Amino acid sequence: MSCKSVVSTISEKTSVSEPVEINYKVEQSDVAEFLKYLSSDELEGRETGTRGIEKAAVFLEDFFRKNNIKSYFATYRDTLTNFKSPAYNIVGYLEGSDPELKKEFVVLSAHYDHIGLLKNKQEDVINNGANDDASGVTVVAEMAKYFAKTKSNKRSVLFVFFAGEEKGLLGSKSLVQKLRKKDFNLYAQLNIEMVGVPMKRDYLAYITGFDKSNMAERINHYTGKNTIGFLPKEAEYELFYRSDNYSFYEAFKKPCQSISTFDFENFEFYHHPSDEFQLMDIPHITKFTQEFLPAVTKITTSPVQEITMTK
């Protein structure tokens, strides 16, 4: 589908309605504290297989444990099968409350690895990866905390922090093979990728593979806002195929898409040492998370699967 034809139908595909009521407040202080540590110098850029990402893994395990989120496997650590040294996805699990719907899964995910240390000598050699993708991990963590506290999910939810994304989507490629062997019943995946700064547009975020499902329309219907829009650059660069959502789509052929606010105009430090906490817009990340709560709630509670593939 051409960009022109997608844009011509966007108004009817992203209609809004009355939002789902959410009596829960995402706290800016929690967002800031979590993101600040995950993107700190102490973690040395979180390259897969290094001591820095090991510290991040321990931090994420502790987060799940503190919020009473169970492990899906024997432990929170899911060992990558396609990486030469020990590396782990961190996977949490909340069982759904409905006897039938709990057999279906929603995956909320982000990658917690980044590109580590620069090899050349300069003043700052740490690629902190605050926007890419500590911001996304922070949002998924806040969603996990919300579901753990409210117990509002009728479907089961898998919260996944991927390693190896920067090495070629290795963490998600490894995980989907294990899930397929378990006859994992996937409904949809929302992958959160680079949401640390806002866009100057009339919508909050864009979705990769906009025309591949009705996910954008459904999210806007659930939030009652123009939350998701179409970004032509996303189609031009085929971002649908470049993040961990694609591994899940390829394995399950279900709605699996990434949500982002990086629009190639609002952040100039992609894979750069200056991608640091100080440049992150905490009120924006907090608002982003809060605005998505009605959507993820409805996705986990709708009596039927309302999000479907369109092509």
The domains found in the chain, sorted by start residue, are: 24-201+241-301 (3.40.630.10)
Q: How high is the pLDDT of residue 240?
A: 97
Whether the Cβ atoms of residue 282 and residue 31 lie closer than 8 Å to each other: yes
Distance CA 157, CA 42 (A): 31
What is the DSSP track for 270-284? TTSTT--GGG--HHH
- Please name which of 151, 111, 86 lies closest in space to residue 300, comparing C-alpha atoms: 151
Output phi, psi for 257, to 5 deg.
-140, 155
CA 200 – CA 14 distance, rounded (Å):
18
Q: How do residues 149-168 score in pLDDT, each as one tens digit? A: 999 999 999 999 999 999 99
Written as one letter, the residue type at 232 is P
**Residue for token pair 């195929």:** 241
- pLDDT tens digits, residue range 259-288? 999 999 998 989 999 999 999 999 999 999
pLDDT confidence bin for 9, thresholds 50/70/90: very low
Task: Convert the pLDDT of each residue in 209-252 to its tens digit.
Answer: 999 999 999 999 999 999 999 999 999 999 999 999 999 999 99
Q: What is the pLDDT of residue 20?
A: 76
Report yes or no: 263 and 233 within 8 Å, Cβ to Cβ.
yes
HSE at residue 18, side-chain half, CA atoms within 13 A, is 1
Residues contacting residue 154 through CB under 8 Å, at least 6 positions apart = 96, 97, 98, 101, 102, 300, 301
Task: Count other Cβ atoms within 10 Å, centred on residue 187.
Answer: 21
Q: What is the pLDDT averaged over residues 191-208?
A: 98
Q: Does the pLDDT value for residue 14 go beyond 60?
A: no
- At 17, the pLDDT band (50, 70, 90 cuts) reads low
Across the chain, mean pLDDT equals 93
CB neighbours of 310 closer than 8 A, spacing ≥ 6?
Answer: 211, 212, 213, 214
Interatomic CA distance for residues 41 and 52, integer angstroms? 9
| Residue 49 Rama label (left phi>0; alpha psi -120 to 50; beta) | left
- 295-310 pLDDT per residue, tens: 999 999 999 999 999 9
- Residue that the structure tokens 């459904």 belong to: 218
Q: 12: pLDDT confidence band, cut at 50, 70 and 90?
A: very low
pLDDT value of position 21: 83
Q: Would you say the pTM of this structure is higher than 0.85?
A: yes
